[in-house]
Amino acid sequence: MNRIVITGGPGFGKSSIIHHLESLDYIVFHEISREILEDQKKIEGDVVPWKDHHAFNEAVFKGRLAQYHAATHSNKLYFFDRGVPDSLAYLLADDKTVPAHFIDEAKTCNYNHTVFITPPWEDIYMKDDQRWEGYDYALKIHHYIEVYYSQLGYQLVEVPQLDVEERVKFILDFLRKDFAEYIH
């Protein structure tokens, strides 16, 4: 169970944690939706939530599945900026029907039972080219993330609102009991 998810509403500090873990030479998987949005912007594509919501969600879902399956070595830690279940939470927040294959995959993609969740933090929240959601909508997404990961049986551990180095230290210290040989 060496696949570690860091999740939470958009703009609550996940990506900063992932980038810091990467700077410490951990293997990370970045937020796939940002990559898709950047690629679509370059080609003036339609696979964006405000033009083709279904195609965008399918692309994000497939990207998260690919990331999950890319973490193949049992002797390494992998950190994910969101996991497969996040795709379901976003659809629920948008009042969309969740496709059966999303649910099936979310049940079979097993991450570590501990999922780190960044709590709402309005002081650091900001919109950018890929984060178009307002703060209230980010709170709604956060709620559905909590609900769905809990329904799948994951233990949510809230990451304290500290500077990024201290948040990473909190996560690594928490994981040390199970993965001491992989923590540096």
Question: Sign of dihedral through CA atoms 29, 33, 38, 40?
Answer: positive
Is the pLDDT at 142 greater than 80? The verdict is yes
- Compute the distance between CA of residue 51 and CA of residue 83 in angstroms, rounded to an integer: 24
Query: Could you give the percent of the chain with pLDDT greater than 90?
Result: 62
Query: Could you give the percent of the chain with pLDDT greater than 70?
Result: 96
Q: Which residues pair with 4 in a beta bridge?
A: 79
63, two tokens:
């990207």
Mean pLDDT of the chain: 91
pTM for the model stands at 0.91
Is the pLDDT at 107 greater than 60? The verdict is yes
Domain boundaries, the chain: 3-176
44, two tokens:
């003036």
Q: Which of 114, 115, 124 is nearest to 161 (CA)?
A: 124
**Per-residue pLDDT, 101:** 92
- Compute the distance between CA of residue 127 and CA of residue 150 in angstroms, rounded to an integer: 28
Using an 8 Å Cβ cutoff, are 159 and 7 in contact? no
**Per-residue pLDDT, 131:** 55
**Per-residue pLDDT, 130:** 58
CA angle 169, 24, 6 (to 5 degrees): 55
**Per-residue pLDDT, 24:** 97
Band (pLDDT 50/70/90 cuts) for residue 149 is very high
Specify the amino acid at residue 147. Answer: V
**Per-residue pLDDT, 124:** 77
Q: What is the pLDDT of residues 79-95, one digit of tens each?
A: 999 999 999 998 888 88
Q: What is the pLDDT of residues 19-42, one digit of tens each?
A: 999 999 999 999 998 889 889 989
CATH 3.30.470.20 for the 3-176 domain, yes or no: no
Cα(first)–Cα(last) distance of the chain, in Å? 18
134-157 mean pLDDT = 93
Band (pLDDT 50/70/90 cuts) for residue 184 is confident
- Compute the distance between CA of residue 182 and CA of residue 112 in angstroms, rounded to an integer: 14
